[in-house]
Chain A
Amino acid sequence: MITYQLEHFDDCYPEAQELHLLEQHWEEVALHKNEIPLKGDEDAYREMDANGALQIVTVREDGRLVGYKIHLIKTHLHYCTTLMAFSDMYYLTPSVRVKPRIAHRMFKVAEEELFKRGVVKVIETTKIHASQQRFLEFEGYEPAELVLTKILKG
């Protein structure tokens, strides 16, 4: 059985750690691993969760955590009357990624819950080297900005 549900940070984070999901995710998509180690700011997540500024949708297969879709919810600095959701990260383990419509359902549930909370616009992102652009466009997202990064070296 696969289900999709809202969870609070402290309800799913220990299991994500135990299953090494965050490390797997990081290994798969992160850039600049030598310069930037993985170290999540747990207190910041907890604070956002407590303030209602975090939405976590988890995917569970037979009780086991196999995926997550996380959004930060806040008004935009330029549009302070409009609630927006900024994608933090999304991940499905390879074992469920190959199954049909799991990713679609995960996004759908997340969007439905964001809509209930009054979110007007979702800012989604994807890595260039592990692009999900085709999937995102299929889900109704439109390319809007290109993000460029640079590691600073003395």
Chain B
Amino acid sequence: MKNFFKLCDGINTIPLLLVIQQNPQLWDQNTLRTTHPYTPHSQVHDIWLRFNDTSVLEEKGETGRKEFLDQHESIDYPSFDKLYEARIMTNQLMAQVQGQRLGRVMITKLEPGKKIDAHVDSGDHAAYYERFHIVLQSAPGVIFRAGDEKVYMKTGECWWFQNQVEHEVINNSVSDRLHMIVDIHTGRGFK
């Protein structure tokens, strides 16, 4: 496989799932990714743990969009403190891949019957950062396609995937698909 690589399995996701379940108010506090025009993520729910500083957008409006999208620097959001278990997982992954710089960290939820439309992650951020997925919850019937390859990522697995080729997700399972997305600059040339 050229677009997917499984790093490990057996990650205990229960502590993080529990605290997510206990904090439903954290979902969709930031909807920039899921509501902008033509977004492929319109059926997704997000918890931003670490992301670009949106105050640039708030201060400069649309004129600040390029600066906002291009900057590699991400900041911690309050949810990262609330979901401390996510920080532990992120730090462990950083250590595993010898990460040099931590980018965005998000938890995303795709409900049964929903999909993420086919799209390519482009721009400086996607080129600079490697994208990793830690599967917090999934079930057979979730299809993750990148290019001409499809995988089912099981709960507790961690995968690298090539987000600069066209990819899409279909959740034809009976369970919510919860992934933690972690962007890490490794400088080691996965891409």
- Residues of A at the B interface (CB closer than 8 Å) are 1-3, 5-8, 11-12, 15, 58, 60-65, 116
Q: Which of A3, A8, A11 contacts B172 (CB 8 A)?
A: A3
Tell me which residues across on chain A come within 8 A of B140, comparing CB atoms. Answer: 5, 7, 11-12, 15, 58, 60, 65
Please tell me if the beta carbons of B170 and A3 are within 8 angstroms of each other in the complex: yes
CA distance A3 to B171 in the complex (A): 9
Which residue from chain B places its CB closest to the CB of A2 in the assembled complex? B172
Q: Give min CB distance, B174 to chain A, whole Å.
A: 4
Tell me which residues across on chain B come within 8 A of A15, comparing CB atoms. Answer: 140
Please tell me if the beta carbons of B152 and A64 are within 8 angstroms of each other in the complex: no
| Residue B87 interfacial (CB < 8 Å) | no
Q: Which of A5, A61, A65 contacts B152 (CB 8 A)?
A: A5
Residues of B in contact (CB 8 Å), total 15
Main DSSP-derived SS at the B contact region: loop
CA distance A8 to B9 in the complex (A): 15
| Residue B40 interfacial (CB < 8 Å) | no
Please tell me if the beta carbons of A63 and B150 are within 8 angstroms of each other in the complex: no
Please tell me if the beta carbons of B143 and A63 are within 8 angstroms of each other in the complex: no
| Residue B139 interfacial (CB < 8 Å) | yes
Q: Give min CB distance, A137 to chain B, whole Å.
A: 29
Tell me which residues across on chain B come within 8 A of A5, comparing CB atoms. Answer: 140-141, 143, 150, 152, 172
Which residue from chain A places its CB closest to the CB of B142 in the assembled complex? A5
Known A-B contacts A11-B154, A64-B174; A3 and B143 likewise in contact (beta carbons under 8 Å): yes
Which residue from chain A places its CB closest to the CB of B175 in the assembled complex? A63
Tell me which residues across on chain A come within 8 A of B3, comparing CB atoms. Answer: none
Question: What are some 17 contacts across the A-B interface (CB < 8 A)?
Answer: A1-B113, A3-B141, A5-B141, A5-B143, A5-B150, A5-B172, A6-B150, A6-B152, A7-B152, A11-B152, A58-B140, A60-B172, A63-B113, A63-B174, A64-B174, A65-B140, A116-B148
Known A-B contacts A3-B143, A5-B141; A63 and B152 likewise in contact (beta carbons under 8 Å): no
CA distance A61 to B170 in the complex (A): 12
Q: Give min CB distance, A102 to chain B, whole Å.
A: 14
Tell me which residues across on chain B come within 8 A of A1, comparing CB atoms. Answer: 113, 170, 172
CA distance A30 to B172 in the complex (A): 31
Tell me which residues across on chain B come within 8 A of A61, comparing CB atoms. Answer: 172
| Residue B34 interfacial (CB < 8 Å) | no
Please tell me if the beta carbons of A63 and B170 are within 8 angstroms of each other in the complex: no
Q: Give min CB distance, A108 to chain B, whole Å.
A: 14
Q: Mark B135-179, 1 if CB is under 8 A from A, else 0.
A: 000011101000010101010000000000000001011110000
Known A-B contacts A1-B113, A7-B140; A60 and B152 likewise in contact (beta carbons under 8 Å): no
| Residue B112 interfacial (CB < 8 Å) | yes
Q: Give min CB distance, B110 to chain A, whole Å.
A: 12
CA distance A58 to B172 in the complex (A): 12
Which residue from chain A places its CB closest to the CB of B143 in the assembled complex? A5
Please tell me if the beta carbons of A60 and B150 are within 8 angstroms of each other in the complex: no
Please tell me if the beta carbons of B150 and A62 are within 8 angstroms of each other in the complex: no
CA distance A7 to B150 in the complex (A): 10
